C-alpha cells in the first residue's frame, strides 16, 4: 500500500489524473473504474485538460462507474450519470458505447441487472485501474458499514450519515435517495490497480482507520489492505490522523528508486 501526501485537493486531483493518463498511454484500451463526488472533480478537470492540450486519447478506453442512486433519472442534476457527462464524458473523445453507469431508473429484476453489470465488467477484461473516493464513514462506492467484504454489485440501502451528507446536494424539500446500485467490495478488489483519493479533515479518521486500522466491514475501505496494488492519494488534512506519515514518505522515496512503475 502506498500513501502519497499532497498539499491540497487540487494537487491530489492533478496527481491522480497524471496516474490515469500514464495508464492510458501504456494501454490505449484501458478499462477504467470511475467514481463521483466532490473530490473527483479536479481529476476530471485535469483529464479534460490533458485531452485538449496533450492529446490524451480516450477513444479506446472503457469505463465503469462504481455506483448510481436508485430512483434518479439520468437527467437529474445529482444523478451520477449527469455529473459524469457534465464533468468528463462530454469533454473527451470517449466512445459513448464504452461508458457504463448503473441505471438508477431500472426496475424489475435487480439481481439480474446487477449480475449483468458484473458480467459486462468481465466481458471488458476486468477493471485495470479503479479510482475511489471515500465517505466520512469509510465507505467506498456505496458500500456502507457492515457491507460484506465479498460483496458484488447490488442494491445497497444508504446509511443515515450518507443521506445527511447528500442532503446539501439536493434542493430543499426534495426527496433524497435511500438506496443505490453499487459495485461491491469484492468487485472493487478484483481491479488490477486501485487509487483512493481523499481530501479534507472530515475524511481524516476514515482514512486513518482504512490504512492503519483492522480490516473490518465497519470501515469498508479497510478491505483495500487485502489488495496488492493500492495507492492512497491524500491532501494534508485527510492525512492528518495517520500515525506513520514519516514512514509512508520514506516508502515513496525508496519506491521511486526501486520500483518506479508503481508510482504511475
Residues labelled as active-site residues: 67, 137, 139, 144
Q: Which stretch binds ligand GLP (CB under 6 A): 18-26, 33-41, 57-65, 107-115?
A: 33-41
**Cell (9 digits) for 35:** 467514481
Question: Mask 38-67, x = binds ligand GLP (CB under 6 A)?
Answer: xx--------------------------xx
> Is 142 one of the binding residues for ligand GLP (CB under 6 A)?
yes
Is residue 56 within 8 A of residue 47, CB to CB? The reply is yes
Closest distance of CB 114 from ligand GLP, Å: 16
Taking the least distance from each CB to ligand GLP, the nearer of 80 and 248 is 80
Q: Which stretch binds ligand GLP (CB under 6 A): 37-45, 57-65, 86-94, 251-259?
A: 37-45
- Phi, psi of 255, deg, nearest 5: -65, -40
SS3 helix, strand, coil % of the chain, rounded to 5? 45, 15, 40
Of the candidates 4, 77, 83, the residue with the CA atom closest to the CA atom of residue 45: 83
Taking the least distance from each CB to ligand GLP, the nearer of 52 and 65 is 65
> Is 37 one of the binding residues for ligand GLP (CB under 6 A)?
yes
Closest distance of CB 17 from ligand GLP, Å: 15
Task: Tell me how crowded residue 241 is: count the other CB atoms within 10 A of its CB.
Answer: 17
- Write down how long the chain is: 264
Q: Which runs of consecutive H residues, i.e. helices, occur in the chain?
A: 9-26, 41-54, 80-87, 110-123, 160-167, 185-189, 204-212, 245-258
> Is 141 one of the binding residues for ligand GLP (CB under 6 A)?
yes
Q: Could you give the dihedral angle defined by the CA atoms of residues 36, 83, 102 and 145, in that order, rounded to the nearest 10 degrees?
A: 30
Taking the least distance from each CB to ligand GLP, the nearer of 55 and 168 is 168
Q: Which stretch binds ligand GLP (CB under 6 A): 53-61, 132-140, 207-215, 239-247?
A: 132-140
Residues lying near ligand GLP in the complex (CB under 6 A) are found at: 35-39, 66-67, 133-135, 141-142, 162
Amino acid at each position: 500500500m502506498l500513501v502519497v501526501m499532497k498539499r491540497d485537493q487540487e494537487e491530489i486531483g492533478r496527481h491522480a489524473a497524471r496516474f490515469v493518463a500514464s495508464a492510458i498511454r501504456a494501454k490505449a484500451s484501458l478499462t477504467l473504474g470511475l467514481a463521483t463526488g466532490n473530490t473527483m472533480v479536479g481529476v476530471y478537470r485535469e483529464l479534460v485538460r490533458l485531452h485538449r492540450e496533450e492529446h490524451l486519447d480516450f477513444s479506446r478506453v472503457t469505463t465503469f462507474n462504481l455506483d448510481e442512486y436508485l430512483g434518479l433519472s439520468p437527467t437529474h442534476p445529482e444523478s451520477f450519470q449527469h455529473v459524469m457527462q457534465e464533468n468528463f464524458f462530454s469533454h473527451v473523445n470517449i466512445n459513448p458505447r464504452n461508458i457504463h453507469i448503473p441505471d438508477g431508473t431500472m426496475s424489475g429484476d435487480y439481481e439480474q441487472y446487477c449480475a449483468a453489470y458484473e458480467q459486462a465488467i468481465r466481458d471488458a477484461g476486468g477493471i485495470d485501474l479503479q479510482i475511489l473516493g471515500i465517505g466520512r464513514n469509510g465507505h467506498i462506492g456505496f458500500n456502507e458499514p457492515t457491507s460484506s467484504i465479498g460483496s458484488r454489485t447490488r442494491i445497497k440501502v444508504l446509511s443515515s450519515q450518507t443521506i445527511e451528507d447528500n442532503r446539501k446536494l439536493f434542493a430543499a424539500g426534495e426527496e433524497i435517495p435511500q438506496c443505490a446500485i453499487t459495485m461491491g467490495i469484492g468487485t472493487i478488489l478484483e481491479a488490477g490497480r486501485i487509487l483512493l483519493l481523499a481530501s479534507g479533515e472530515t475524511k481524516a479518521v476514515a482514512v486513518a482507520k482504512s490504512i492503519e486500522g483492522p480490516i473490518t466491514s465497519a470501515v469498508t475501505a479497510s478491505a483495500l489492505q487485502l489488495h496488492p496494488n493500492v495507492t492512497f492519494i491524500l491532501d494534508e488534512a485527510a492525512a492528518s490522523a495517520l500515525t506513520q506519515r514519516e514512514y509512508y514518505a520514506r516508502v515513496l522515496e525508496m519506491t521511486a528508486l526501486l520500483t518506479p512503475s508503481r508510482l504511475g
